[in-house]
Chains A and B, each alone.
Chain A
């Protein structure tokens, strides 16, 4: 597309846990999808800001009204505060990408934003409304479709984008995916967290830990299959710092997403024309933060062996695969297309 000095394209992967941006300026950033407002004047004085986004918000959470405004990859219901929080995340992303949002030389922003494959249409409309004022034109695409577009995996491929809130599936058959080609599951990073909390509490009822600690453990040591090392973490038990072994709990929690993911993969494979199923089975692409679980691609490949073989691979850069793909779409869309989608 024709890009003037004032017009910039961005691809955004608005995630439940983390959001990333890839801009036509070459900037790429990822932020934790948290927004916090100081709870009172004292907190305001201490944090020296009216609103905090990302890691900064998490680090200062005791002083903040902290929001994680996305749920299962879409905006939470009913709260204007959550809508405001999504706007803050988007503004923050655009700001860290170095795009000027105010003043005479304000850039014109064309944004492609990834949403879950089966995003409820109302939520898509809400999201469009929320983006108003942050970008000038917006196109919403399904997250796995954006990944496929960015990788040019346009034919005989199945993308599984596993984030925190959802696992999104999309079969690419050289055409714009229909509802039949896509699927969204709620079994993703957050459901692993829930399982992990439950399992650790069962075995160590007195252990004290927060969801944020647990997410950090998961990011460092998540795995499926046989353990290579013990997963040891330190938690307070009755006030005393105590090291506990959570290897089996971590494995069980991570493996809990395998059956639904594999089952959905098979369902979508069976919808492909029989003569092309082999090709698609050999081209299963895993993306999203949760695809970084150690051993995941091997486990999916193993599941494919029951179907006559196949291969699952994790994309090189799972965290940015969605935003890079969205940026590619934004760049390729014509000015005429963008005019139709202006806010």
Chain B
């Protein structure tokens, strides 16, 4: 057994290393798979691959406006909220939208702070995705506190939740809206981008890579995947998700471009994120910043900036919910 002196020396080393990690510069660290999940990793990878292939098929085989447009270069700065891949990729099973399937008022909103337990993306300074997403989610709940909505968080502390637990939480609480908050990490590190996703196919390799990374924590079985994938396009909520995503993206960009003038508006996109596939209500995933960009990391360390993000999300939610109130009155 170690002497007290040896134990103290070991503890001190730990404390010093922990502090050095807090003050260090930019190095992106992706979460390591947890040991107890390791045995299932290859099965999950296979499931993810099936899901991603399934969702990319329509985009690959159906001629789309995207493929035509791709011949015309579009500068990053010119991209706006209306340039959505969803608008350019036809659905595999198109069906008329049944508007009655959507509730005519928003009562319950589930906010999902991405990651937890495991850090998600990590900036070199040590700032982690899980901390930012939880901080913004808690602020958002406070800001929505005086509204008529019931606001529920999938996690309120730093704890690990699998993606299917997050989905189950939203479904069990019969949420009317689902908003998952994430922070991106991109190459090259000069990129500082804002983007909002709703469920759908994609042929963008960068988006596929992102979806694959964010889907890591899923506990779905193959049977679950098949069931979920079969129904995603016949769901009326998809159109509503797109409207919700546009509202949020627009609000966020308008507000954040002031303190963050180099922010790139990547618009509303579709991607096969598990949390968007499994949820039974209009659902979006928003990437509020890039932890790979040092300037954005600096902004994220400022409480005012995080408050600004939460405020824009709250305004977007209220704006989206207001549609139903107006429609209800008219109807």
Q: Which residues of A contact B (CB under 8 A)?
A: 77-78, 118, 120-122, 124-126, 128, 139-141, 145, 149, 152, 154-155, 174-177, 179, 329, 332-333, 337, 340-341
Contact = CB atoms under 8 A, between A and B. Distances in A.
B22 A124 contact: yes
Contacts of A122: 127, 131-132, 135, 300-301, 303
Contacts of B132: 122
A140 B158 contact: no
A296 to B, nearest CB: 24
Nearest to B122: A121
Given A126-B301, A332-B8, A175 B14 contact: yes
9 contacts: A78-B303, A78-B304, A78-B307, A125-B125, A140-B22, A149-B8, A176-B10, A176-B18, A341-B16
The interface centre, meaning the residue of B10, B18, B301 with most chain A CB atoms within 10 A of its CB, is B18
Interface in B7-34: 7-8, 10-20, 22-23
A141 B307 contact: no
B20 A340 contact: yes
Given A128-B23, A179-B158, A337 B131 contact: no
B131 A120 contact: yes
Contacts of A176: 10-11, 13-15, 17-18
Contacts of A78: 303-304, 307
A337 B16 contact: yes
Given A174-B7, A337-B16, 7 more contacts: A78-B307, A125-B22, A139-B16, A140-B19, A154-B8, A176-B17, A329-B15
B131 A77 contact: no
Contacts of B12: 329, 332-333, 337
Interface in B220-253: none
B128 interface: yes
A118 B11 contact: no
B120 interface: no
Name the 10 nearest CB pairs between A and B, nearest first.
A176-B14, A77-B303, A78-B303, A337-B16, A154-B7, A122-B301, A139-B19, A176-B11, A78-B304, A124-B22
B22 A121 contact: yes
B4 interface: yes
Contacts of B127: 121-122, 125
A141 B14 CA distance: 10
B121 to A, nearest CB: 13
A71 to B, nearest CB: 11
B15 A139 contact: yes
B146 interface: no
A126 B304 CA distance: 13
A196 to B, nearest CB: 23
Contacts of B114: none
Contacts of B303: 77-78, 122
The interface centre, meaning the residue of B10, B11, B300 with most chain A CB atoms within 10 A of its CB, is B11
A74 B2 CA distance: 35
Contact of A340 (B16, B157, B300): B16
Nearest to A120: B131
B126 interface: yes
A211 to B, nearest CB: 21
Contacts of B8: 149, 152, 154, 332
Contacts of A154: 4, 7-8, 11
Contacts of B131: 120-122
B4 A174 contact: no
A121 B126 contact: yes
The interface centre, meaning the residue of A122, A174, A333, A341 with most chain B CB atoms within 10 A of its CB, is A122
Interface in B104-157: 125-128, 131-132, 135, 157
Contacts of A333: 12, 15-16
Contacts of A174: 2, 7, 10
Interface in B255-301: 300-301
Contact of B11 (A126, A149, A341): A149
Nearest to B128: A121
A165 to B, nearest CB: 15
B171 to A, nearest CB: 27
B305 to A, nearest CB: 10
A140 B19 CA distance: 7
A120 B127 CA distance: 9
Nearest to B21: A121
Contacts of B14: 175-177
Nearest to B22: A124
B27 to A, nearest CB: 14
A154 B12 CA distance: 12
A175 B6 CA distance: 11
